[in-house]
Structure 1
Amino acid sequence: MAQGHRRRHATYVAGLITVVVSATFSRLWGRVCDIVFPRWCLGCGTPDESLCPQCHTAWAAPWWRAEADARYLVQFDSEGDDLVVFPVWGKARYAGVVSRGVVGWKHIRDRRADVAFRKLMASNVASLNVSEAFPAVRCGQVTVVPVASGRSRRRDGFRTTSILAQAVADVWAVPMIDGLRAVHRNEMSNTVAGRSHKSRGQRAVVDFRGRDIVLVDDVLTTGATMLGAKRAVESVGGRVVGAIVLAVTTRT
């Protein structure tokens, strides 16, 4: 028994040493990267940070329903009353630190920034209850789908929306399907089926049949792209129950 205890103790110590060494190496490697590839906070310019703790507080406000700020997501019924297309939840206003941070991230090629915004979205979305936020969702049917980015960003292998969507899916423990693509203005289709998949710059490239879709985008402006994504999803049998965005522009 004493020998077994010593073996377990040795295994525990070895594991602890591995963890400590790994953490130390990660810190040292991070410092080396900051020297060789310097970075500054995308929101305020603080050195050696992709998004500093102070700038994180710009997303500290509670989630709120933001679709009223997007004119394409508010329609009218036969009696002239407002009819919301689907709920969109936002976390911050697209101004100041938030706008600088998001714009900087979209134009930089730094995986450390990707990690920073993925962690930001994950920490924020943990407080958003799926069934309460999206009453139309059916249990076990939810799938997270990023709104399509422009072709140039996909060609560069960089998509902010898919990074954010994966963070949401990981927290909720649901699938993420990158199934929408941007459509070039001049792109044409010779088939009825092809044309039905294209709406306001979005087309579906997978079958969403039977799925309740939560769209994810970085910034909500007019809602035109969101509406296009909804139509693209519906054209292949899916159902959009709502959306999440990192920032919301102020309606003017």
Structure 2
Amino acid sequence: MRVLSALVATCRDVGSDLTSLLLPLGCAGCGTWDVVVCRRCRGLWQQRPRRCESETVYLAAQDHPARPGLPVWALAPYRGGPRRMVLSWKGRSRTDLRPFFAAVGYGLGVAVGGELTRLLTGPAPPVLVLPAPSGWRRRLRRQLVVADLARAVGAGLGSTGHRVDVQDVLRTPDASLHRLGASARRTSRRVRLARRTDPRSLRTAVVLVDDVVTTGATLAACRTLLREHGANVAGAVVLAATPGPGSATWQ
């Protein structure tokens, strides 16, 4: 059954690629004719990244129980054009967005590099960049967009002088955590390490990468697992953040 699903997914991806080549498409953000991303929508991703953990449920600092916040940087609010673009990219309906988001991820890594330097005290340790886990269905279909994003972010961090290693070692045994509700994601034991992962390789500074953060439950579950193995989870990088009610970060 998995082999058949993978074959169907491959045929669908090939068809999508051919369609993108043969038929002119509009801007993925606003629909402007015959351009992958128009100048206005491109500018939405060229802002300085903003810290947004204070607007999440599970990543903001809390006194009861005592828990430090996890720095999270995002480029855009998850609404309007940015939301449409991320969904098209993740769903593989617009494979022509891959180079665009690779460039966005690289720039995000460059921008966060200086912030990371200020957070890490003492001699700079190697930085391990880890993509948030994808469900087995997405892995079977080779729709590992977050892993692609993590490689781009890692390259950007490396250009700022950090020693960077990118590994895809976080797993979910069944469905993706994004399919769960916030409380279920928080209490779920579905985040684990990939087989043959050496836990000793995690004992360094870690930066998590995901496409979107809403409540922060997925990143919080990853942080808990990694800390159990001795990792120093220094922060997280995402493309977009869902604005909360009355958001002061995304006005």
Correspondences of 1:6-85 after superposition (within 5 Å):
35-36=21-22, 38-77=24-63, 83-85=67-69
Distance, in Å, in 2 between the alignment partners of 1:74 and 1:224 is: 11
Aligned length: 207
| Residue 35 to residue 114, structure 1, CA distance change in 2 (3 Å) | closer
- Please report how far the alpha carbon of residue 34 of structure 1 lies from its aligned counterpart in structure 2 after TM superposition: 5.1
Code of the residue aligned with 2:230 in structure 1: it is G
Distance, in Å, in 2 between the alignment partners of 1:51 and 1:133 is: 32
Q: Counterpart of 1:105? A: 89
Distance, in Å, in 1 between the alignment partners of 2:86 and 2:19 is: 22
- Bigger drift between 217-226 and 154-163 goes to 154-163
**1:190-222: CA deviations, max 9, x gaps?**
xxxxxxxx9553212222432211000110100
Q: Counterpart of 2:9? A: none
Q: TM-score, normalised by structure 1?
A: 0.72
SS across alignment from 2:36: coil
Match of 2:132 among 147, 152, 156: 147
Distance, in Å, in 1 between the alignment partners of 2:244 and 2:20 is: 39
SS across alignment from 2:142: coil
Code of the residue aligned with 2:171 in structure 1: it is R
Match of 1:243 among 232, 236, 239: 236
Q: Counterpart of 1:226? A: 219
Correspondences of 1:110-149 after superposition (within 5 Å):
110-132=94-116, 135-136=119-120, 139-149=124-134
SS across alignment from 2:239: strand
Q: Counterpart of 2:145? A: 160
Q: RMSD of the alignment, in Å? A: 2.6
Structure 2, unaligned runs of 5 or more: 1-17, 159-163, 176-186, 246-251
- Please report how far the alpha carbon of residue 104 of structure 1 lies from its aligned counterpart in structure 2 after TM superposition: 1.3
| Residue 200 to residue 100, structure 1, CA distance change in 2 (3 Å) | farther
**1:92-111: CA deviations, max 9, x gaps?**
11111111111111112554
| Residue 200 to residue 73, structure 1, CA distance change in 2 (3 Å) | farther
Structure 1 contact 40–50 (Cα < 8 Å) conserved: yes
- Please report how far the alpha carbon of residue 76 of structure 1 lies from its aligned counterpart in structure 2 after TM superposition: 2.6
Structure 1 contact 200–227 (Cα < 8 Å) conserved: no
Q: TM-score, normalised by structure 2?
A: 0.73
Q: Counterpart of 1:183? A: 173
| Residue 51 to residue 154, structure 1, CA distance change in 2 (3 Å) | farther
- Please report how far the alpha carbon of residue 141 of structure 1 lies from its aligned counterpart in structure 2 after TM superposition: 1.8
* Structure with more relative contact order (C-alpha pairs < 8 Å, separation 6 or more): 2
- Please report how far the alpha carbon of residue 33 of structure 1 lies from its aligned counterpart in structure 2 after TM superposition: 7.9
Larger radius of gyration: 1
